[in-house]
Amino acid sequence: MSEHSEPLIGRGEVLLDLYGDGVGHLRLNRPAASNAMTDSFLAELQQAVARAEAEPRMRVLVLSGEGPNFCTGGDVKDFAAKGEALPEYLRSATARLAAVVAGLVHSRLPVVLAVQGYAAGGGGFGLVCAADLVIAARSARFLPGATRAGMAPDAGASVTLTRIVGVRKAMELVLCNPTLTAEDALALGLVNRVVEDEALLPGTFEVARGLAAGAPLALAAAKRLLWEGIGRGLDEALPDEARTVSELSGTADAREGLAAVIERRRPGFRGC
């Protein structure tokens, strides 16, 4: 990592720093909650992604999470506390998450994501699928997780995951929710490389510095061309995902799913 940084966003649940070599570092900063996402957290993340894009000195963006886990998805305790107001709450949260994903995918900046611990749900697993390059610690674990809690994929995963691993494997991951090891994720193409835990951030910044030394206009154009193949499908899928998740959140099964995750038990779904 570079030695000196300038804080662009120096406080709050999302932090953003800029290093002298043009590498930006966006950090999810709710470590005590495993960086689980709330509506207010997503509002900060949306602003940070926009701030990074607007910074002319930034040439590449590293995305990581503070604490033992990268991101465990939505904050299920926060969701469960909303009761009957959850659908309206998630209409806002999923719209913000969609804006974050669109911001990362359509950014001129190459996005290099570092994963330690769990990357789960739309927040964690979905961001993995939306990054340009992903470096995983050997102890990292990946879990789609949405259907386990009576919900559906969001963060663009209904489009990006199928393009990354294929329709059949995506169906297995989303419907069956296996927990993938870092090596599993590497074999499927979800991540680009696996490093020892202590080498995660140094290895990620090594990749980022290499990109920052490249031709920024060429990298931005190449990124745009590669994502453009799925861009129309992604943009159509994001609002549909947000509507679906919001609607599902008003069902008894969703409330049961959230309770089961919090209580660490198997859910009893009733189809209503």
Residue 238 to residue 9: CA distance in whole angstroms: 27
Q: Copy the structure tokens of residue 102.
A: 């669109």
pLDDT value at 2 more than 70: no
The backbone torsions φ and ψ at residue 231, rounded to the nearest 5 degrees and listed phi first, read -60, -45
Least confident of 200-204, 211-215, 234-238: 234-238
Q: Which stretches within the chain are classed as H helix?
A: 39-54, 76-80, 86-105, 121-130, 157-165, 167-176, 182-188, 200-212, 216-248, 252-263
Q: Please state, in angstroms and as integers, the Cα–Cα distance from residue 166 to each residue in 97, 140, 157, 159, 225, following that order.
A: 23, 22, 12, 10, 20
* Mean pLDDT, the chain, integer: 94
CA 225/CA 146 separation, integer angstroms? 30
Please give the pLDDT value at position 45. 98
Please tell me the distance from the alpha carbon of residue 171 to that of residue 190, in angstroms, as a whole number.
Answer: 15
Q: What is the pLDDT of residues 217-266, one digit of tens each?
A: 999 999 998 998 887 788 888 888 888 888 888 988 888 889 998 998 98
In the chain, the percentage of residues whose pLDDT exceeds 70 is: 99
Taking alpha carbons only, the member of 123, 124, 113, 21 closest to residue 61 is 113
Q: What is the pLDDT of residue 3?
A: 66
**Which two tokens mark 228?**
């453009």
pLDDT digits (tens, 9 = 90+) for 38-70: 999 999 999 999 999 999 999 999 999 999 999
151-195 pLDDT per residue, tens: 899 999 999 999 999 999 999 999 999 999 999 999 999 999 999
The answer to whether the CB of 191 falls within 8 A of the CB of 128 is yes
Predicted confidence band of residue 1 (pLDDT cuts 50, 70, 90): low
* C-alpha dist (Å) from residue 73 to 69, 87, 118, 199, 203: 10, 17, 9, 24, 24
**112-126, 206-220, 224-238: the lowest-pLDDT one:** 224-238
pLDDT at 269: 82
Strands 5-9 and 60-65, bridge-based pairing? unpaired
* Main-chain phi, psi angles of 235, to 5 degrees: -65, -30
